Amino acid sequence: MRRATCLPAHLGLALVLIGGLAGPAAAQAVYDGALLAQPAEPHYYLVAGVAADDVLNIRAGPGASHEVLDHIPAGAGPVEVVERRGGWGRVTAGDTGGWVSLRYLSLIDPPRLARGGPPEGLVCGGTEPFWGLRLGPGGEARFEEAATGSTGTGRLVPVPGGGGRPALFGFRLAGGLDGFGHVAGQFCSDGMSDVLYGYSILLSLERPAFGSFEGCCRLPLPR
């Protein structure tokens, strides 16, 4: 089993990097002994119905009896939920994942990279080699490949059409980055933990690093 590795904090990639199942091979995944069908994309929420001086707990499982792992502040959002089960939603918190009560979440449509595309601020990464890509507001794109120290900042340009799949977002990278890729709304696993990601990514770069990269993406939880 490969050890989980994190990219430098200055990129804001608070993400356990991934190997194993990723990209198109992760269209379906098995969790808790059940085969989970491919979703269109994650759902996004605002923490609501929680007192201003209180928090929404993130628990180890879908139920109030499970251990509290972390929390989300009142009024925070967008909160990315990749699976819903019995009034609870799975979030990609830390390196274990967790569950929050949907009772205290209000559905919203977050700012997006393009109409119908994934949300701004999406963080992606993978292994072999370890790499990370953050797709920020205004189309800003920041890439880092750990082994060679290659870094670059550029801009994302959406590419129309999704190959017949409504949850497939194509893009090219320009400016300080040169390449293209797509993000697909589907389950994606790191193959090493119980974390369930809501997007997979395939990326082909010419600059600053040359090669093909695949992995998973998530929208970090608000703090």
**Among the ranges given (36-40, 102-106, 204-208, 210-214), the one the predictor scored with the smallest mean pLDDT:** 36-40
Q: Which of 97, 99, 183, 98 is nearest to 141 (CA)?
A: 183
Kindly report whether the peptide bond that precedes residue 166 is cis, defined as omega within 30 degrees of 0: no
User: Is-contact 133 143, C-beta < 8 A?
Assistant: yes
Residues of the chain with CATH 2.30.30.40: 28-107
Q: Residue written as tokens 């369930």?
A: 196
The whole-number pLDDT of residue 146 equals 87
Once rounded to an integer, what is the mean pLDDT over residues 104-113? 95
Once rounded to an integer, what is the mean pLDDT over residues 98-111? 96
Give the tens place of pLDDT for each residue, 63-101: 999 999 999 999 999 999 999 999 999 998 777 789 999
* Superfamily of structural domain 28-107: SH3 Domains (2.30.30.40)
pLDDT band at 202 (very low <50, low <70, confident <90, very high): very high
Phi and psi for 81 in degrees, rounded to 5? -115, 120
Phi and psi for 102 in degrees, rounded to 5? -70, -15
The mean of the pLDDT values for the chain is: 80
The whole-number pLDDT of residue 40 equals 63
The whole-number pLDDT of residue 43 equals 94
Give the tens place of pLDDT for each residue, 125-183: 987 788 999 999 888 999 999 888 899 999 999 987 654 454 689 999 999 999 999 99
Contacts of 34 (CB under 8 A, 6+ apart): none
Share of the chain above pLDDT 70, in %: 77
CA–chain centroid gap for 18, Å, is 11
Contacts of 200 (CB under 8 A, 6+ apart): 22, 23, 24, 26, 27, 183, 184, 186, 188, 214, 215, 216, 217
Pairing of strands 98-101, 131-135: unpaired
CA distance 167 to 118: 9
Side-by-side strand order, sheet with 83-85: 68-73, 55-59, 98-101, 88-91, 83-85
pLDDT band at 23 (very low <50, low <70, confident <90, very high): very low
